[in-house]
Amino acid sequence: MNATDLANQATAAANRALDLAEAARRAAEAAAPIAAAAEPFLYLLTIFLMACFVGYYVVWSVTPALHSPLMGVTNAISSVIVVGAILATGLSDGIAAKIFGFLAVTLASVNIFGGFTVTRRMLAMFRKKG
């Protein structure tokens, strides 16, 4: 084996390495949007699952006597969906989004104010003996 062959082999190996690096770079590029999209989802999913556990334990600690007020409160807070409605109404320029956003804000507001009001009324009635 002479020096020229060795040099040729080295060049070939180097070229192959370059090709591999290029393929790896392309693969990484292709995967990047998926990773970028998956990351916020996984982040939200983590929060979601944790919140499910918190909800589970907190709700079991609610006394059965207050299950109706519990429904009132959960009804009010589930209307936090108003946040999405406000963003749609305030941020978009499109007329469709503005109309849907406005309708959603109105419906959710009925719940927010109605839910907290009726819960307050219920809770005000729970009094101790004497």
Partner 1 sequence: MATTLSTLAYLVASVLFILALRGLSHPETSRRGNVFGMIGMAIAILATLLHPGMGGGGIALVIAGLVIGGSIGVFVASRIQMTALPQLVAAFHSLVGMAAVFVAAAAFYAPESFGIGTYGHIHGGSLVEMSLGLAIGAVTFSGSVIAFAKLDGRMSGAPILFQGQHWLNLGLGILLLVLVIAFVATGNAVLFWLIALLAFALGFLLIIPIGGADMPVVVSMLNSYSGWAAAGIGFTVGNILLVVTGALVGASGAILSYIMCKGMNRSIINVLLGGFGTTGGTAAAGDAAAGDRVPVKAGSPEDAAYIMKNAQKIIVVPGYGMAVAQAQQVLREMADLLKKEGAEVSYAIHPVAGRMPGHMNVLLAEANVPYDEVKELEEINPEFAEADVAYVIGANDVTNPAAKTDKASPIYGMPILDVERAKTVFFVKRGMASGYAGVDNELFFRPNTMMLFGDAKKVTQEIVQALQR
Site for partner 1 in 2-41 (CB under 8 A): 37-38, 40-41
Residue 3 vs 124, nearer CB to partner 1:
124
Number of H helices and number of E strands within the chain?
4, 0
Instruction: State the number of binding residues for partner 1 (CB under 8 A).
Output: 84
Span near partner 1 by CB under 8 A; candidates 4-12, 15-23, 24-32, 54-62: 54-62
Residue 8 vs 106, nearer CB to partner 1:
106
Give the tokens for residue 64: 């059965």
**Contacts (CB under 8 A) with partner 1, residues 64-93:** 64-93
Residue 1 vs 65, nearer CB to partner 1:
65
Half-sphere exposure of 17 (CA within 13 A, CB side): 6
- Contacts of 35-38 with CB under 8 Å at 24 or more apart are none
**Contacts (CB under 8 A) with partner 1, residues 105-124:** 105-124
Residue 3 vs 58, nearer CB to partner 1:
58
Write out 72-109 in H/E/C secondary structure: HHHHHHHHHHHHHHHHHHHHCCCHHHHHHHHHHHHHHH
To partner 1, the closest distance from the beta carbon of 14 in angstroms equals: 40
Euclidean distance between CA atoms 116 and 92, whole angstroms: 30
To partner 1, the closest distance from the beta carbon of 9 in angstroms equals: 46
